[in-house]
Amino acid sequence: MSAASIPVLTLSVKATAALTHERFVTGGGDIATAAGRALGVTRSDAAIGELAPVDVLGTTVVTAGGVIAADAAVEVGAGGKAVVLAAGIKVGRLAPGSSAAADGDLVEIILIPN
């Protein structure tokens, strides 16, 4: 199944670091820290100082940082990728029918405010 998204709320965030599309970011415009909080997921790349659209509610597409089973809860991994929830903060859950077989796969997640 290809990854899709149904965003309910998308906000603009001014990038304070170079941002890559489909990665978790903070409200401060930086890449989210592994196991930490995230405002949402970027919809496009953004250079420092540019505005980036960030999905904060609903479903969105994010890059996986490894294997993720269907319906798994996720946290932020290295580089703002989604990884299976371990000791970090839950930021989402894979949407029905979505899973990742390897690092770099795109998955649809249901965002969880955190």
Helix, coil or strand: residue 76? strand
pLDDT digits (tens, 9 = 90+) for 101-111: 999 999 999 99
**Residue 103 CB-density burial (10 A; 0-12 exposed, 13-18 middle, 19+ buried):** middle
Which residue in the block uniquely carries the two structure tokens 């249901």? Answer: 110
d(CA 32, CA 25): 4
Residue 1 confidence (pLDDT): 47
- Is the pLDDT assigned to residue 84 strictly greater than 70? yes
Helix, coil or strand: residue 18? coil
d(CA 91, CA 68): 14
Mean pLDDT of all residues belonging to the chain: 96
Q: Which domains does the chain have, with CATH numbers?
A: 1-114 (2.40.300)
Neighbours of 74 (CB within 10 A): 27
| Mean per-residue pLDDT, 19-35 | 98
| Mean per-residue pLDDT, 78-103 | 97
d(CA 107, CA 23): 11
- Is the pLDDT assigned to residue 48 strictly greater than 90? yes
At 73, the pLDDT band (50, 70, 90 cuts) reads very high
Task: Provide the β-strand partners of residue 106.
Answer: 63
